[in-house]
Structures are given as structure tokens and as C-alpha cells.
Amino acid sequence: MSDFYQHGRITTLHDLGTADLGELERVLGEASSEHPLGLILPVTASDMRAAPFSRIIEQLEGVSYIDTILVVLGVAPEVEDFRETCRIVARLGERARVMWTDGPRLQALQAELDQCGFRLGSPGKGRSVWLAFGYLLGDPRLSAFVLHDCDIVNYNRLLLARLCMPMVHSSLDFEFCKAFYARVTDRMHGRVVRLLVSPLLDALISTLGSDPFLTYLKSFRYPLSGEFAVTANLARSNRIPSDWGLEVGTLAEVFRNTSIKRVCQVDLCLPYEHKHQSLSLEDRSKGLMKMATDILTSIFRTLASRGLVLENSHFRTLRSAYLRAAQDSIRKYHADALLNNLIYDRHLEEEAVEGFAERITAAGEVFAADPLGGESIPNWARVLAALPDFPKRLRRAVAEEFQSL
């Protein structure tokens, strides 16, 4: 059971163990009639065939307060991937659609955007989420969009209800809701948050001072969670990174485009389990090392956009400050794991920290070579100014792709 302590600059909505799913869904049914919701489910072909995705679809059959469900299928080059996804999703009825990002019609629309000068970055979750925003923006009835990953092993309806409630209840005025949870099985997971992001933020504040953006990031219990909800207006204004900086980049855009008092985080469940990335110490271009580089670069570029000057000497100092903070955190996690009867490989944790520390200077070099970066996809406000009918064409392409089966 969580406590009810409010820390940091954003509102924290706790799981105190008193919520009733039936009551939450009743309230959501009434509220969503006035403020319809769209649910985005980004999935790859491999994840679509895994057991968690089928369980998620099964659970969603009993959810009546979601108006539109959009499954965004990416990394799926074969038409059979699309067919199989449509078969699985069919049990959700007419409110559910599958957007096949590798399909010929979606590929043609993405090529058109490229020809018009809109750079969509590399295919991946960022691009899929961005395309989903465009599709849902084509329906002016929808007031907010909700997104969660499709590899959640222990998915249930309470998780979704808790994520949706802050966006539709008439007495609340949040524009963005971020999920948090405990990544625990027989051991602690969430290494990038525990061993990189949290001590990094402490190190950045100690070296650069208490910048409002850094203290805002530090307020999030799990800044890299893949689950969030956002109003349609804010989704229209936010840019989206196309790499592993998606989660941090999204938080940066929210910080830029709305008031902090309109931002909250919600405890979804205990525990939370999905697939885990390899540490990939032997190949820094993959796994958690690649993720760390993208996240670090995204943070550095955001700080630079706020007027902070970052030079090579800063990254050397930051690396030293980070190492000290991360090593202190290992001591804390070791004690926590011991008290909770969890497996804890302290040597492996130390190796991860050393790998992350090396990524700080590597990301500093990436930043120095390209301080602005080119990975953020333009926001939909810009696309709509140039191509006002594009969301409608996107929706038509999705429908036609399905009809062509």
C-alpha cells in the first residue's frame, strides 16, 4: 500500500488500496459520455503474437467507457501481421481499428509528409504514437487520449480506469497524467530509472543548480513509464521524439506547453510486469545502453533549449557527480531488497552504473556535435496548418486498408 505523501511540484494520485473497480467504471461511464476517450495501443508484430496482448484485448471487451480504440501496428512488414492483428482485435467491435504503419496506404501518406518537409524520424514507438494522435485528432468529439504499452503481463481493467479517471472527471482539470508503479518480481527492475535517471537528476541539480525543469522531472516517481493520458489540445501542441527519448521528451513538451498544476501522476498497480531490455554492455548501440544515450541526449538538449550552457567540462563533472549519487543509490536499494527478501546482484548493479556513466560522456559528444538534434517529430498544429485535411485522410486510409483484406 502506498502512502499519501505529496512530494515535488506535481500532484500524485496514490493507490491506497481502497479503490473499487465497479464504482470507478460507473463514474467513468458517466464522465466519458461528456468527454469521450480514445485509447492508443502501440504494438509490434512480435508483441502482438505474445500472450499479454491477447489478455489486454480480452480485458478491454468489458470496458464500455472507451469510445475509440486504436491499435497501432508497427515493425510489421508482412500483410499476414496485419490480418492476424485484425482477427485478434475484432472481438472489440466497431469502436476498434488497426492502423498498420507499414501498410501501403500509410506508407504513401508518410512519404507525402516527408516530401512536404515533415521529418518523421526512424520507425518506432514515437512515430506510431504521433500517427495515432493524428488519427484521433480527426474526431473532434474526443477530449483526451490514453496510451499504454501492450506487453503488460499482469494487465487488468483497474490499471486502465486509474489512468483514465484524472482526464475526464468534471471536478478535475488535469491536462496530462503520467503513470507510475513498482517494477518488482523476485527482484527490482527499472534499472534505467533507478540507476541512471534518478541519480542523474540529483547530479544535474548539484552541478547546474535547481533549474525548474530538473525539479519538475525529479517530481515524477517513474518518468520512463510508457503509460500516460493527455488532452486532445495538448496532444496537438506537443512534439514527439522518435527514439528512446520519447518518455523524457514528452515530459519536456508537457512542461513547455501547459501549467505544472495541470500535470499529475497516478499509481496504477502493484506490481507491474512487462518484458525487460538487456543491459547490452558488450554493444553500447543496443539495449539499455542505447536507451540511456537517447535519454541523456534528450535531457541535455532540453536544458540547452532553456538557455543553459553545456560544455565538455560540464559533462566530465557531471559524470563524477553522477557516479557518487548512483553508488549511494545502490547502497539504498541493497538495503531495501534485503528487507523485502528480493534477489539483489550488487555487482551487476555496479556494472550497470559504470556503463551508464560512460554514456554520459558519449551523449555529451552527441550533443556537442548536434545541440539541436533532429529527432523530434513536428507537432500536429504545424501539420494541420499546412495540410488541414490530413487527419481525415489518415482515418480514411486506415479504413481502406482494413476493407482491402
Cβ-Cβ contacts under 8 Å for 224 (sequence gap 6 or more):
190, 192, 193, 197, 247, 248, 295
pLDDT in tens, 124-155: 899 999 999 999 999 999 999 999 999 998 89
Question: What is the pLDDT, as a whole number, of residue 131?
Answer: 97
Residue type, 30: E
Cell of 231: 488532452
Q: Is the dihedral of CA 123, 252, 99, 225 positive or negative?
A: positive
How remote is the C-alpha of 54 from its chain's centroid?
21
Q: Which domains does the chain have, with CATH numbers?
A: 11-403 (3.90.550.10)
Residue type, 242: S
The reported pTM is 0.94
Question: What is the pLDDT, as a whole number, of residue 299?
Answer: 93
Question: What is the pLDDT, as a whole number, of residue 276?
Answer: 63
Q: CA 286, 292, 293, 297: dihedral to nearest 10 degrees?
A: 150
Q: N- to C-terminal Cα distance for the chain?
A: 48
What region, left, alpha or beta, does residue 38 occupy, with left being phi > 0 and alpha being psi -120 to 50 degrees? Answer: beta
How remote is the C-alpha of 255 from its chain's centroid?
15
Q: Which residues of the chain have pLDDT under 70?
A: 1-2, 242-244, 270-276, 285, 374-375
Count of H-run helices and E-run strands, the chain: 17, 10
pLDDT in tens, 259-294: 999 999 999 976 666 666 777 777 776 789 999 998
Closest listed residue to residue 357, CA positions, set 316, 314, 395, 388: 316
Cβ-Cβ contacts under 8 Å for 278 (sequence gap 6 or more):
286, 287, 288
